[in-house]
Structure 1
Amino acid sequence: MRPNPSFPADLRIVMVLVLVTDLFILLPFLSNSPIRTVLGLPLVLFLPGYALIAALFPAKDDLDGIERIALSFGLSIAVVPLLGLGLNYTPWGIRLVPVLVSISVFTLGMSLIAITRRKGLGENAFCVPFGKMYASLRDELATERRSGLDLILSIVLVVSILLSAVTLVYVVVTPKQGERFTEFYILGPGGMADNYRTRLVLGESVDVIVGVVNHEYQPVNYSLEIRLDNESMEVPENYRHISLGHNSTWEQALSFAPPVTGSDMKLQYLLYREDNMSEPYRDLHLWISVMEADNLTGQEMPAAV
């Protein structure tokens, strides 16, 4: 039976895949499923190019099947970055939802154009004969004239293709873990890695922004300690218990007023993992000087470093 030229099966599949992928990405209860990745790869790497090729070359004599598939991958890799470049100059920017919408609209739009152009070609319109392909494969496997060896080889080939597909999906859905580490940093009051106030009058505070980023591929509990010349100082309770999931960031402002005077004192910020509180996991420090207010009489106020 000839495929319906008014709604070609291949473009119908393309449009359904686009809409299903959008659902798996946008709906919260589906977005954490590994199926999202499996569907997202064709949406980025194949479907836009296939729809564009279908719109540009609607006749069956324009290109053969292999050329269409190869160009579909190549044009997808070219079109998607161009869509992202265009979004960069819009108020929406390059974010998940704008990128998803732009790719989906482009693919659906090209598919509709391809359907319209194929209608005007009649019998000369390109179509993918899924029915004939299935019937041919079924007859090839079921024919009584096939030898036992040929049948076994055909079954092995089909199983090998299925195993290859399953392996590819597994590799894509289960990304390889990189190096495990934790970022630990302190920033000045302006949110930059400079302008730390290190020359103080007794009673003034060192104001910094403390940041922790978990790249450990697992949830981790951290604790923060402050030491001044190896003497442990009191820190707020919420700095003693910091729980972070993988790729999560914790950043808070922290003020510490040194209780003693001295020159070139070592102010340490120590980060511990709760599975090892005996030694710091990360260590940062500043050198500070603190003087009595009476010592400033007739002197210029120390400048911030």
Structure 2
Amino acid sequence: MNLRDYWDLITIIALSLLLDILIAFYPDSLLRKALGLAFVLFFPGYVFITALFPEKKELDNLERLALSLGLSIAIVPLIGLLLNYTPWGIRLIPILVSLTIFNVIFALVAIYRRANAINPWIPRISIEKIKEELEWEQSSRLDKALTVILVIAIITSIGTLAYVVTHPRAGEKFTEFYILGPEGKADDYPTELFVGENGTVILGIANHEYRNVTYHVEIWLVNLTYDFETNRTIIHNMYLMDYFNVTLPHKPVDLESNWTPQWEMNYTFNIDKPGKWQLWFLLFKDERPPLPEPINGDYVQTNATQRILDAIEGKIQSLKLNIEVREI
């Protein structure tokens, strides 16, 4: 057994294992991204085709290359589909392990099949082999020119694809804005209070805007009703309870690890007026719109009411708690 006859398959096994090491210890390296491209778009199809067709006469080199690329594009989604029905799901580590196992198993099968083939196909890379494959000597000038253009186009396409993979566009820009109950769960909110009784919630913000952002948070106590006859929201009272701001850096979205908060605060409030109220939390990015002067502490007769109307229509990022306040 001459190991040189299996250099391509041994190389794929070694590179697949090397990629695992790079992802574990050097996840941001450029080599990892380059290897990952071949790992997904070439290796699975190549080992599969080589295992199926070990004989030289069965396929020519160009057919093997085309089928390797095409089958890789088919095999990877199928593995992802199977993982979707397992407890591990479609995540980086399960996909990496599954593809590595696939590449290693089929590479070993291909080695066995090639060792037992009568006239095995063994890739040899040389200028003479390339010319022979392209029938260079028998080609006309036009065919040679078209071949050169095709090769340049393929190299350019591979280079473009590599650039796109290694320089991905920024993902969707958004901000997490949420309220949790006092125990840190989306439950047990203080929706029924007595006059002057304290209520506590956890207010959280996470910045996924790909830049530093200064967030301005306004907390409003609002009494409103909806007129179904006129399809209008009528605001009866509107009091500014609190205001603060916080500047946060960008936090990357990590789908592999457990979710962790970026910024949270315990916010305690009390309401000194009985009735059915809505506690609105309005979030503004970078700049806070100017506020007019209230009338006896109530903003209902000012254009500040537009803030709540915009929040109801989804034009302002906001959160709301419905609270019933009773007399003691």
Same fold (TM over 0.5): yes
SS of residue paired to 1:257: strand
Where does residue 126 of structure 1 map in the other structure?
121
What displacement does 1:6 show? Answer: 5.4
Where does residue 282 of structure 1 map in the other structure?
317
2:193 equivalent to 1:200: yes
User: CA-to-partner distance for each residue in 1:139-183, whole Å, 9 max, x for gaps?
Assistant: x79xxxx99x99998876665544333222222223334653324
Change (3 A) 1:207 1:54: farther
Gaps of 5+ in 1: 294-305
Where does residue 47 of structure 2 map in the other structure?
51
Change (3 A) 1:204 1:46: farther
Change (3 A) 1:183 1:158: same
Cα distance in 2 for residues equivalent to 1:44 and 1:84: 12
Moved more, 44-53 or 10-19: 10-19
Equivalence map 1:1-305=2 (5 Å): 7-28=5-26, 31-87=27-83, 92-122=88-118, 124-131=119-126, 132-133=128-129, 160-177=153-170, 180-187=173-180, 196-228=189-221, 229-233=238-242, 240-247=246-253, 250=262, 252=264, 254-273=266-285, 275-278=286-289, 282-293=317-328
Taking only the aligned residue pairs, the percentage that are identical comes to: 42
Cα distance in 2 for residues equivalent to 1:156 and 1:82: 34
What displacement does 1:75 show? Answer: 3.3
TM-score after normalising by structure 1? 0.71
SS of residue paired to 1:130: coil
Where does residue 300 of structure 1 map in the other structure?
none
Change (3 A) 1:241 1:289: farther
Gaps of 5+ in 2: 222-237, 255-260, 291-306, 308-315
Cα distance in 2 for residues equivalent to 1:214 and 1:64: 53
Count of residue pairs brought into register by the alignment: 279
Contact 2:5 2:122 in 1 (8 A): no
What displacement does 1:49 show? Answer: 1.9
Cα distance in 1 for residues equivalent to 2:211 and 2:62: 44
Greater helix percent: which structure?
A: 1
Cα distance in 2 for residues equivalent to 1:171 and 1:189: 45
What displacement does 1:111 show? Answer: 0.7
Change (3 A) 1:223 1:34: farther
User: CA-to-partner distance for each residue in 1:11-63, whole Å, 9 max, x for gaps?
Assistant: 233223323322332213xx113443332132123211211221122111222
TM-score after normalising by structure 2? 0.67
User: CA-to-partner distance for each residue in 1:209-231, whole Å, 9 max, x for gaps?
Assistant: 43434342334343434333432
Cα distance in 2 for residues equivalent to 1:136 and 1:96: 41
SS of residue paired to 1:101: helix
